[in-house]
Amino acid sequence: MHPLHHPLFIQYIIHFNSNEDYFECHEVGEEYWKDVAPKDKTHPLAGWIQMSVGMYHWRRSNFPGALRSFIRAKDKLSDAGIWTEGFDGKILANQLSGSIEAVTARTAFTPYRLPVVSEELAQAVRHHMAKNPSETLDAHFLMHKHRLRDRTSIINLREQKKRRNL
């Protein structure tokens, strides 16, 4: 299987292109990255994650955070070989450059879609969406998801770790 046809990366594309849920892009991208290249912050998957983090920050008008994320993403995704196959590399580079220019100029957030050109990848995305319809999330929740999501499991894990370290 091509690495970008992995179910977690398919979910990444869906969250980015269909839902504009950049927080979830980060979540599924990080889960996949931890399986493929744990702690390798130079890996192209880290670039995909940083691209979605940039979009999340830009939507929230966190221009410095968005700028850092987009610059790092562009560096990792240029000449990323197999990790950008199935995408129009020129459009992807232009999107990242345009994002860097926009956040530098503090331009209002403008979403865009990842330029999938592989019919096989597009078909995998459509197939996954048909089998797993997603709910529509309101704009406020998407913008502030890191604060509004259920953090119970995260808090419980932190508490367990504290108890073990005592």
Task: Note the pLDDT of residue 1.
Answer: 77
For 48-90, the pLDDT digits (tens) are 999 999 999 999 999 999 999 999 999 999 988 999 999 999 9
| Secondary structure in 3-state letters for 10-71 | HHHHHHHHHHCCHHHHHHHHHHHHHHHCCCCCCCHHHHHHHHHHHHHHHHCCCHHHHHHHHH
Query: Distance (Å, rounded) from C-alpha 36 to C-alpha 140?
Result: 33
Task: Note the pLDDT of residue 80.
Answer: 87
User: Structural domains in the chain?
Assistant: 3-165 (1.10.3450)
Task: Note the pLDDT of residue 116.
Answer: 97
Determine which of 12-21, 41-50, 83-92, 153-162 has the lowest per-residue pLDDT on average.
Answer: 153-162
Neighbours of 30 (CB within 10 A): 18
Average pLDDT over residues 100-126: 97
Task: Note the pLDDT of residue 143.
Answer: 53
Between 113 and 142, name the one with better pLDDT. Answer: 113
For 118-161, the pLDDT digits (tens) are 999 999 999 998 987 766 555 545 555 555 555 455 556 567 76
* pLDDT exceeds cutoff 90 at 6: yes
* pLDDT exceeds cutoff 50 at 114: yes
| Phi-psi group of 55: left, alpha or beta (phi > 0 → left; psi -120 to 50 → alpha; rest → beta) | alpha
Q: How many CA atoms lie within 13 A of 17 on its CB side?
A: 15
Task: Note the pLDDT of residue 164.
Answer: 73
Neighbours of 7 (CB within 10 A): 13
